[in-house]
Structure formats: structure tokens, C-alpha cells
Amino acid sequence: MEVFAVPDIPEIEPGDDLAALIDERVDLREGDVLTVASTVVSKAEGRGADLSDFDPGARAHDIAERIGEIAGERKDPRFAQAVLEESEELVMAAPFILAVTHFGHITVNAGIDRSNVPGADLLLLPEDPSASAQRLSDALGVPVVVTDTSGRPFRQGQRGVALGWAGISAMRDWRGEHDREGRELTATVEAVVDELAAATNLVTGEGDDGRPVAVVRDWDFGDHDSHDDLFRDRDGDLVRQALDDFEYDPD
Amino acid sequence: MEVFAVPDIPEIEPGDDLAALIDERVDLREGDVLTVASTVVSKAEGRGADLSDFDPGARAHDIAERIGEIAGERKDPRFAQAVLEESEELVMAAPFILAVTHFGHITVNAGIDRSNVPGADLLLLPEDPSASAQRLSDALGVPVVVTDTSGRPFRQGQRGVALGWAGISAMRDWRGEHDREGRELTATVEAVVDELAAATNLVTGEGDDGRPVAVVRDWDFGDHDSHDDLFRDRDGDLVRQALDDFEYDPD
């Protein structure tokens, strides 16, 4: 398969027709999968926001105070309020906020970006990344994965992950198939949308040559079972249950 | 960049010269990165084992009993003993064993494979995957990443991950660089070896056409800071701390 970034995507403004901007810059073919960074989706969808848009309630004040005490510097309760409004629930409130977004993704600060937003304090994640992917897929005629980069337990650093997808299933399910010695595969469900996000993150980069859109060409999902349950719910996630019980102690 | 599987790798036997078998099947070029599934590295290194090789101690009996009670079926304490011997410590013992391998990777059952081993009950992970990668890299003249597939908290399914690497840094560090609006990037350290493992897992597949070796061609690490700290230690991992305190309650 081939993986390449779409060149010369301009800085995206609210209301921009992202599909048209992509379509002008790449000849998509049948079989291509397009990955689009959530930052440009959010910008096109007008998801920039200012801290002054958020009126912190008691819980936001508590959280900001607690994180601030641990960090030894004042934290803005308006930011905590923004995270609360973007979250279905919190997995952890301190020493940082680990939140479940309304669409099920678990990430620090509900994925709110404070570094990459011309003319706004904050950039919120797309409200429904799979709906965003569907609109782009309908316009462009290929499967689309809306991506972000995210840290993870156990391993340092960040890697590309899928937030939403359309025209492709999230998971390739090998269970019930057989290895080449004839033994049945028992526990292999492959999160292909995350792997596609990771693959394209290798070529899209960060920083001053950021290229937020990429194409995976000549990759074949193959003839396998599939499903779309990418995000674990609480019942199926012992780590989440353990974090619910966890009290952070800085000493 | 291009990503492709090396064709026709045969079933690997203990003592096989894996580098020679790869070299016969692909013309590697400068700039290529080779990924090699830990299963074939383990097979070549004679890491197959039988349950009868393991003499379960009291702790292995306890763990097997506890997991067996939860699962409602007897569990073999020899397998628990194998996991203990392959582990530096356990993060969780039930309802499944989540272990830290001697080289720092956190995974279920210390990565011991029970499904993919002709002529043996078990296949252990390579003892030191980065040393294995170094030997292959020295023989083949390109960077090598030894890979596995692994589940993860918060998200369903498995994806490719790096266990060891040589000739390449694990992490691409963008901190201190700037985005295209001139703002400094603050928190971006990219786990490129995991992304390379994920990218190649899309083409290597599982099952009866398993292709354990793949090439990433024309990918550029670029001029960035780098480091090799892929595996979090306990102090830097709140999830691991939370799991230490966690008592699984099946009711």
C-alpha cells in the first residue's frame, strides 16, 4: 500500500468547504482511504471557542483548584468548564482531566486543543466525528477516517488514532479464521481505523509543515467480519473501573 | 511512503537464519525500515516451550485458581508459572494476567502465545527484542522493528506495537518546534516505532496467509530530536498505579 500526504492544504477557516479543498488537491481513486486530522474538521465546522464562552460552575472551580494545587500554579476554571461540557463523564479529574467525550473517545482534556487555533483560545473536537467523516465521504466518494493524536497508558508518546469513520468498518475481525497450520484464531480483532490513523501520522507530521490530510492507496480490508465498536464502555474496561476507584496522591 | 509485506516467508524453525531468509526474498534499499513479527523472531530463537517445562509455585497456583474461579473453568497453573517467569512484575493477576515483561512491555500473559506454535504448547516473546532487532539490523543493513499485536485500555481490538527496535529511535520529539502560525508545540512526542508497527500490520495480516515481515519504504524520520523511552515506568503511569490498587470484583 502507499501512504502520502495531500499537499498544500491551506489554513482552514470556519465554513470552509473542506471536501472541495481536498478534491482540488488530490485525484482520489476507488480503494483509497482518506484520513483527515480532526483539527481541520473542527476549524471548518467552527469549533473554535474562547475561554470567555465558558461560565465555570462549582465542579469546574473544584477541579481547577485541585489540579492547580498539584501543579503549583493557578489553573483557569473556565478551561475545566469547557472540558466538562465536552465530556460525557470524567475518568479522572486530577492531576489531569481524563474524559470520555460525548462520542465515546477517552482522552486528556476531552481533546480540547490550546495550541493550534488562530483567532480563538481553544479548538474543540468535532461534535460527532463519524458524522463529519460521513459528510466528507459522501462528497469525495471514498472512505474517510477523522484522526487525532493521543497518548496512552503503559507506553510513552502519542500515536495517531481514529475518532470517527465512514465508508469503512472500524474493526477487522479474524476470529474463527485459521492460521496456516489450521489452528483457529481466537482473539484477533484488529482496529484498522486506528492503524490507518497511525500509518498516516507518519507522513502528515506536526509543526510548521503540518499536512492534515493523507491518503492510503491500494490497501485491502479483505473479506473478513467487521464491526464498529471501537470505544470500550465501562463494563468492558477494567482500567476504567480501576481509575474510577483511584485517588491520586502526589506524595 | 510505501508499505508492503515480504512474500513467501516459510514456517520458521528454531535455529533458522531469519536474516538470510528475509534477504533472499526482498531487495532492501537505504531508507527502508523492516518490521518483523515477534512470532518468527521467537521461533528462530527457539522460544517455543511446553507447559511441562514449568513447575508451578504457590503464587502460580493461587493465580490459576483465582482466574479459574472467575472464569468458571479450571486454569493450568503451569501456564501461570510461565507468565510469572516471563514477567518482571504483574500489574494485575485477575480476571486475566497483565504483566510487565523483563524488557518493559505491558501486555496480557506477558505476550505468551498459545495458538501459533507448531510442535510446542507455548511461544514466549523474544528475551530481548531490541537485541534481536539489532542482530537483524546488523545483518540486513536497515533499521528493524520487532512487532507484536496487542490490546489496550479504553479502545477495543488490537493494533500493531513495537517490542524492540534497532537502527531507528523509538520516538520523534517535536517539542520546541513550531506550528505554521509560529506557536511552539508543547506536548508532541510521536511513538514512530509503534506507528510503523501499526502501518505494517495493515498489510501483514493474520490467519492462513500470515506474512510476518514487512517493509516501509521512502519514509523519512526527518530532522527531529529523538529518544528511546517507549515503555512507561510505574512512576510515570497513573493507570499502572491505579491498577496496583484495584481489586477485581466479578459481582
The 10s digit of each residue's pLDDT in B82-132 is 999 999 999 999 999 999 999 999 999 999 998 767 789 999 999 999 999
Query: What does the pLDDT average to over B192-205?
Result: 95
Query: What does the pLDDT average to over B207-236?
Result: 88
Place of cell 488562530: A118
Distance from CA of B111 to the nearest CA of A (A): 13
**Optimal mutation site among A9, A155, A211, interface B, most CBs of chain B within 10 A:** A155
Mark yes or no for CB contact A189/B116 under 8 Å. Answer: no
Query: What does the pLDDT average to over B48-66?
Result: 97
- Collapsing DSSP to helix, strand or coil, B183 comes out as coil
Q: What local confidence, expressed as pLDDT, does residue A116 receive?
A: 66
Place of cell 468547504: A17
pLDDT reading at B65 higher than 60: yes
B127 close to B44: Cβ distance less than 8 angstroms: no
Q: What local confidence, expressed as pLDDT, does residue B52 receive?
A: 97
Rounded Cα distance, B193 and B231, in Å:
12
Q: Which residues in chain A are closer than 8 Å to B155, comparing Cβ atoms?
A: 106, 161, 191, 194, 230-232
Q: Which residues in chain A are closer than 8 Å to B243, comparing Cβ atoms?
A: 238-239, 242
Residue type, B180: R
Distances in Å between the Cα of B78 and the Cα atoms of B68, B82, B112, B117, B237 are: 13, 6, 12, 17, 30
A85 close to A77: Cβ distance less than 8 angstroms: no
For residue A214, what is its C-alpha cell?
493523507
Residues 15-34 of B with CB under 8 A from A: none
**Optimal mutation site among B13, B90, B202, B225, interface A, most CBs of chain A within 10 A:** B202
Query: What does the pLDDT average to over B6-18?
Result: 94
Rounded Cα distance, A159 and A157, in Å:
7
Q: Which residues in chain B are closer than 8 Å to A202, comparing Cβ atoms?
A: 1, 192, 195-196, 199, 216, 219
Q: Pick from A142, A146, A143: which is nearest to A163 by CA?
A: A146
Rounded Cα distance, A109 and A86, in Å:
9
Task: Give this complex's ipTM.
Answer: 0.95
Mark yes or no for CB contact A239/B161 under 8 Å. Answer: no
Kindly give, in sequence order, each residue whose CB lies less than 8 Å from that of residue B212, ignoring residues fewer than 6 positions away: B9, B36, B37, B39, B40, B204
- In chain A, whose CA is at the least distance from the CA of B221? A202
A154 close to B231: Cβ distance less than 8 angstroms: yes
pLDDT reading at B251 higher than 70: no
Low-confidence residues in chain A, pLDDT < 50: none
Percent of chain B with pLDDT over 90: 79
Q: What local confidence, expressed as pLDDT, does residue A206 receive?
A: 67
A177 close to A184: Cβ distance less than 8 angstroms: yes
- In chain B, whose CA is at the least distance from the CA of A196? B199
A46 close to A118: Cβ distance less than 8 angstroms: no
Mark yes or no for CB contact B190/A1 under 8 Å. Answer: no
Q: Which residues pair with B178 in a beta bridge?
A: B184
Place of cell 481509575: A243
Is A211 an interface residue toward B (CB < 8 Å)?
no
Kindly give, in sequence order, each residue whose CB lies less than 8 Å from that of residue A42, ignoring residues fewer than 6 positions away: A48, A113, A123, A124, A125, A126
Residue type, B174: W
- Collapsing DSSP to helix, strand or coil, B152 comes out as coil
Q: What local confidence, expressed as pLDDT, does residue A244 receive?
A: 84
Mark yes or no for CB contact B157/A190 under 8 Å. Answer: yes
- In chain B, whose CA is at the least distance from the CA of A10? B180
Q: What local confidence, expressed as pLDDT, does residue B235 receive?
A: 87
Higher pLDDT, A248 or B2: B2
> For residues B214-227, b (16+ Cβ closer than 10 Å) or e, as one string?
bbbeebeeeebeee
Distances in Å between the Cα of A131 and the Cα atoms of A46, A49, A136, A174, B119 are: 15, 21, 9, 27, 49
Rounded Cα distance, A227 and A171, in Å:
5
A115 closest CB neighbour out of B179, B232, B241:
B179
Mark yes or no for CB contact A188/B206 under 8 Å. Answer: yes
- Collapsing DSSP to helix, strand or coil, B244 comes out as helix
B52 close to B82: Cβ distance less than 8 angstroms: no
Rounded Cα distance, B85 and B104, in Å:
14
B189 close to B242: Cβ distance less than 8 angstroms: no
A189 closest CB neighbour out of B157, B179, B207:
B157
Residue type, A56: P
A195 closest CB neighbour out of B4, B199, B242:
B199
SS3 readout for chain A: CEEEECCCCCCCCCCCCHHHHHHCCCCCCCCCEEEEEHHHHHHHCCCEECHHHCCCCHHHHHHHHHHHHHHCCCCCHHHHHHHHHCEEEEEECCCCCEEEECCCCEEEHHHCECCCCCCCCEECCCCCHHHHHHHHHHHHCCCEEEEEEECCCCECCEEEEEEEEECCCCEEECCCCECCCCCECCCCEECHHHHHHHHHHHHHCCHHHCCCEEEEECCCCCCCEEECCCECCHHHCHHHHHHHHCCCCCC
Omega before residue B153 within 30° of 0, cis: no
For residue B172, what is its C-alpha cell?
520523534
Q: What local confidence, expressed as pLDDT, does residue B118 receive?
A: 77
pLDDT reading at B187 higher than 90: no
Q: What local confidence, expressed as pLDDT, does residue B206 receive?
A: 67
pLDDT reading at B146 higher than 60: yes
